[in-house]
Structure 1
């Protein structure tokens, strides 16, 4: 006597309805197996959704990104944005500097970046001091603007509604008012528009200095109300020198990875630096803790405080990018050669020789 198929694993009403339709047919056993598997998949998805719902928004975002990395779902060229390679080495301030602080320097090896704060004209005809650009939002804006210049293949780019769409895409709620996200991004946009960059490199044969502004012109009217349409077309023009450098040295970054760490300027800097090194390393590179602090220290004054913070930053990155070739020891930081896929960046297509 044949044993009846076990249907106890099927519970959802629509699956039970499909089961009843197949009852009495020669395919009934196969249908039971198929629907049992389908129910198990649904149960697993529901359990995962419940687990994600219990997480904080930041942890939930990182968990979703980790899964997309593991499956390779986001490792596509459509998900790439671009940043200037100089900004992968020498970064902006992490915290807001007092308005009277008009200059900030970062050094790495035999390279130095000096950022000078500037002024912008107001609607009342007055020159207004702008602070130094700082934090994650300034970094996100630079990534967005550099990416748009590359995509539009022009130093003058239209931003218009796409800027608010980008803010949403980075996981920030778009809100108006004095303390709204639009105002915070506008502050950083103004600071970036007014600042000047001085890049210096040196060695045994001499030294070189590049003095440039990222933007030569900015015309942006951002609405106070996030639902209000912009009344004018908003345009930003990169300086020709910066745009030419960007076109020649644009570094790809996966937007989903940056989105997972959009609130952390420290983690964004680590990812940029890691992406830059993956393009050039052919053997492991070790930085002492002192060298690591020089590269990523920001405003910390004490090495032990930096080490504590940096270890947490690396742990956070590895929770999303488990194959990232970063290792911390008592001596410092070691990075090893790896394929760009460890950062969810697809391999470049090889051009065919004519």
Structure 2
């Protein structure tokens, strides 16, 4: 026999309610499954072994970290400078960058799509990630998202 969770996932909440199951159990399971905060986060295993830098590097400087099994190379991209010419950007760093990468990977796997819809605004995206809106948090996320979007990430598995 299928579990309550399997029925809700494959056939929907209404089918689970119509089955011979305790309504309170179905409601609780459906509510839990609909809560994105209680969901599991997904991360490529390479990120567990090789991480982004904790501190800011000079703009234009690449980042490389080697472990026993994985090498991560991050190449900074270019961004428009004050005069409009392209200048080297920086490598993403710190906890905000790692949180963004976790969010992007989890959402891509959950939606089974390479394209991740961030939201209609930065405020909406911050809310989805559970980050306080405004001030330093918002500025940090904006900067790290820009850095991530311009960087090239390469994993080499030994």
Please, what TM-score do these two structures have when normalized by structure 1? 0.31
Matches of 1:201 and 1:84, distance apart in 2: 12
Q: Does 1:175 align with 2:131?
A: no
Q: Does 1:97 align with 2:57?
A: yes
Question: 2:126 is matched with which residue?
Answer: 164
* 1:282-321 Cα distance to aligned partner (Å, 9 max, x none): xxxxxxxxxxxxxxxxxxxxxxxxxxxxxxxxxxxxxxxx
Matches of 2:147 and 2:133, distance apart in 1: 20
Question: 1:151 is matched with which residue?
Answer: 110
Q: Does 1:119 align with 2:75?
A: no
SS across alignment from 1:155: coil
Matches of 2:82 and 2:102, distance apart in 1: 28
Question: Of the two structures, which has the highest relative contact order with CA contacts closer than 8 Å and spacing of 6 or more?
Answer: 2
Please, what TM-score do these two structures have when normalized by structure 2? 0.65
Higher strand fraction: Structure 1 or Structure 2? 1
Matches of 1:110 and 1:164, distance apart in 2: 34
Matches of 1:80 and 1:188, distance apart in 2: 23
Distance 1:84 1:130, change over 3 A: same
The alpha-carbon deviation at position 123 of structure 1 amounts to 9.9
Question: 1:192 is matched with which residue?
Answer: 148
* 1:36-67 Cα distance to aligned partner (Å, 9 max, x none): xxxxxxxxxxxxxxxxxxxxxxxxxxxxxxxx
Conserved 8 A contact 1:138-1:185: yes
Distance 1:154 1:134, change over 3 A: same
Aligned length: 121
SS across alignment from 1:83: coil
Matches of 2:127 and 2:157, distance apart in 1: 37
Q: Does 1:131 align with 2:87?
A: no
The alpha-carbon deviation at position 125 of structure 1 amounts to 4.9
SS across alignment from 2:41: strand
Question: 1:141 is matched with which residue?
Answer: 100
The alpha-carbon deviation at position 120 of structure 1 amounts to 3.1
Q: Does 1:109 align with 2:65?
A: no
Distance 1:201 1:164, change over 3 A: closer
The alpha-carbon deviation at position 159 of structure 1 amounts to 0.8
Matches within 5 A, 1:225-240: none
- Superposed CA RMSD in Å reads 2.6
The alpha-carbon deviation at position 145 of structure 1 amounts to 1.1
Unpaired segments of 5 or more residues in structure 1? Answer: 1-73, 203-354
